[in-house]
Amino acid sequence: MEGVIHDLGAFIARNSVWAGPLLGLMTFGEAVVLVGAFVPATALMAATGALVATGVLPLGPVLVWGCIGAILGEALSYHLGRRAGPAIWRHRRLYSQRRSVARARLYFRRYGAASIFLGRFLGPLQAVVPLTAGATGMGAGRFHAANVLSALIWTPAMLAPGYFAAGGLGALPAGILGESSPLASWIAAVVAMALGCLLILQSLRNDGSGGILRPA
């Protein structure tokens, strides 16, 4: 897998015009059920972040394409689950992922729409939680709201390790102060958004009102 990441990183370094579309394709694939386990999008994003930090790639297209791919991938998993319904759990192709499926179903039952937001950061559950949301009949509006918000936060968060590793520890303060690091400023903004969303979700959970946390 490391060889694949190295080759892809070398390709986009030589062909910067394809960096955004290729990253979008990878983030799309990683969020699609059954396919996601074989797509190393997260590792490629770290490598891409390093290329952005060193000026090889522009930040804007990388962020936009990464977000679009992540949104569309989870949307496809959701609609596959919605079309199949609960019968999807008996599909033979999901047998190899039965542990991830069981975890995703329990996670979704407990956290509802919040699991869409948080599940994107949980590796093997990323594509299975949207499938669960669709199969259990979650409303499309609530799903897509959580899907889009989580993608806006997840994409720069996955670019950040490579970006800061290549840019040095001084990149973060400089970006926050508006001197040189647009990715750091983006991350600061989305982290603030994430904290606000988590506080709202926790408040809804604590007061027992359900709201966005209800599975359907």
- Contact (Cβ atoms closer than 8 angstroms) between residue 23 and residue 14: no
Mean pLDDT of the chain: 77
Q: Is the dihedral of CA 10, 16, 20, 24 positive or negative?
A: negative
Low-confidence ranges of the chain (pLDDT < 50): 168-180, 203-216
Residue 71 pLDDT: 93
Cβ atoms < 10 Å from Cβ of 145 = 15
DSSP string, 131-161: HHHHHTT--HHHHHHHHHHHHHHHHHHHHHH
Q: How remote is the C-alpha of 138 from its chain's centroid? A: 19
The helix, strand and coil proportions of the chain, stated in percent and rounded to the nearest 5, come to: 80, 0, 20
Residue 189 pLDDT: 57
Residue 199 pLDDT: 53
Residue 67 pLDDT: 92
Number of residues written out for the chain? 216
Residue 8 pLDDT: 76
Residue 52 pLDDT: 87
Residue 126 pLDDT: 83
Residue 191 pLDDT: 61
- In angstroms, the CA 111 to CA 157 distance is 22
Residue 79 pLDDT: 93
Domain locations in the chain as residue ranges: 2-213
